[in-house]
Amino acid sequence: MPTRVRLAEIIEALSRALDLTEGQPAGHCIACCYIGTAIGAKLGMSGEELRDLYYTLMLKDLGCSSNAARIASLFDADDISFKRNFKLVDGSLSQVMRFLAKNTAANAGPIRRMKRLVNAMRQSGEATVEIIRTRCENGAAIARQMRFSPAVGAGIHDLDEHFDGGGHPLGKKGEDIHIFARIALLAQVVEVFFRDAGPEAALREVVKRSKTWFDPRVVEAFCDVAGRRAFWQQLASDDLEAIVLSQEPGEQAIMADEDYLDDIAAGFARVIDAKSPFTSGHSQRVADFADMIGDQMGFTDMRRRKLRRAALLHDIGKLGVSNSVLDKNGPLSPEEWGTMRRHAEFSEKILSHVAAFAEMAIIGGSHHERLDGKGYPRGLKGAEINLDTRIVSTADVFDALTADRPYRAAMSTDDAMTILWRDAGLALDPACISALERGLQQSQ
C-alpha cells in the first residue's frame, strides 16, 4: 500500500540532522519551534501563518551544511564546534575578536595559528557575507523544492538579518525582514542561552539585543510568553518533541504521500551533499545506481521507489561529522576514523524517529557493514545484512571510487568495477555487483 506519513513527524525527525551540523544537541530546532510558535500566537497570527512559521522554525538551518567546508577551511577549525561556540557570541567587536582568537587554528602551533588568525581576520568581512549568503540562498531553495510556501523560504532566507540593519547577507532592516525570520532568530538565541545558563540568561540576552538584533515588538511578545512558568517547564521537558508535534497549527495534520516523500528525500539529499565539495551529487548518484541495480534484479516499482529514497538519505549522519575530517587530504587518525564511523549510527538514529522510515533506518545504519563481518558499526555478517542494504552499499562504494576525493582522483568505471569484483563475497554481494555491471552496460 502507498505510504502516507504525517509531515510534521518527518520534519521533526530530519531537523535533528540540521542540529548535528550546527553543533547543537538533538532537539534544538524542535525547541526553537516551541518558542517561536508561542511568540507567533501571542502576536495574533492566523492558523495558516502559524503553520508556515512552525515549519520555518523547524527548518531554519536547511542551508547550514553548505557553509561548513568554507568555515573549516578559512578558520582551520572543526566547523561543528566553531558553529556551536559562535551561537553564544553577541556580535560585538570585542566578543568576535576573542572568539576568533580562541577558535581559529586552535590545534595548530603558535606560528601557524597566528598566520591563520591574521588571514581569517583580513578576510572575515567578505567571508562572513559569503558564508551567510550561501546558507540563506541554499536553505530557501531547498525549502521550495520540498513544497513549502514562499513565506517559509523567506523566513529561512532572512534568518541572519538584524532589526537595525547590521545583519547579513543583504543588511535588511526593520520590517523589511520577514516576520518569521525575526521570530526565528530570537527563538534561536533564547534556546541556546536557556540551555547554556537558564531562563534568566536567555531573557537578559533578548532584552540586551532588542532594537539591534531583535524587533522590539517580538521581544515584548516573548517577554509576555516567558512570564508563564509553564512555558519554561515545557521547554525543559523530556516530552518536548511530543508536545511540539501535538501543537502543529492548523485544523488538521498535513500528510505526505509518496510523491511528497520523494521530494522531501531529494531536498534533504541536497543538504547532505552540500556538506563537502567532494560529495556534491553523491546521494543522488547512489540513488541512481541503487535504482539501476534494483531494476536489474526485477524489483517492483514501489520497492525501487523506497530503495531510492533510502539511498538518498543513507548518509544523513555525515552532517554530524566535521569537515576537518570529511575533507582531510591524507590518512585519518584513529580518533578521526572513530568520528567518521559514527555517521552510520547518526543516520540510523535520525531516520528511526519516523516509524514509516524503519527500513531506511536499517539501511542508513548498516550500509558500511561487510559480508565477512569486518564492517561497522555492528560487525554484521552474511545474512544479517538485508538485500536492500547490500544494494546501497554497492552503489555507495562504486560512486565513491568513480568520484574525486580529497586524497585521490576519480577512477575509471573499469578500474572501479575491478575493485568491486575483488571485494565480491567479502565486502559486497556478487549479485549486486553483477546487476550494477549489467545496468551500466545497458546505459551506454
Catalytic (active-site) positions = 318
CB 245 within 8 A of CB 251: no
Residues whose CB falls within 8 Å of the CB of residue 76, separated by 6 or more in sequence, listed in order: 104, 105, 108, 112, 116, 120
- 356, 3 in Cβ contact below 8 A? yes
| Rounded CA separation 119/75 (Å) | 9
Burial of 220 (0-12, 13-18, 19+ CB in 10 A): middle
Residue 306 to residue 141: CA distance in whole angstroms: 24
Report the alpha-carbon distance of residue 364 to residue 193 in Å, rounded: 33
Element holding 256 (H helix, E strand): strand 255-256
Nine cell digits for residue 29 = 530546532
Q: Which DSSP letter does residue 109 get?
A: -
- Residues 296, 310 contacting (CB under 8 angstroms): no
Phi, psi of 109 (to 5 degrees): -70, 165
List Cβ neighbours of 414 (8 Å cut-off, separation of 6 or more): none
DSSP β-bridge partners for residue 424: 428
Using alpha carbons, select from 320, 332, 309 the residue that is nearest to residue 276: 320
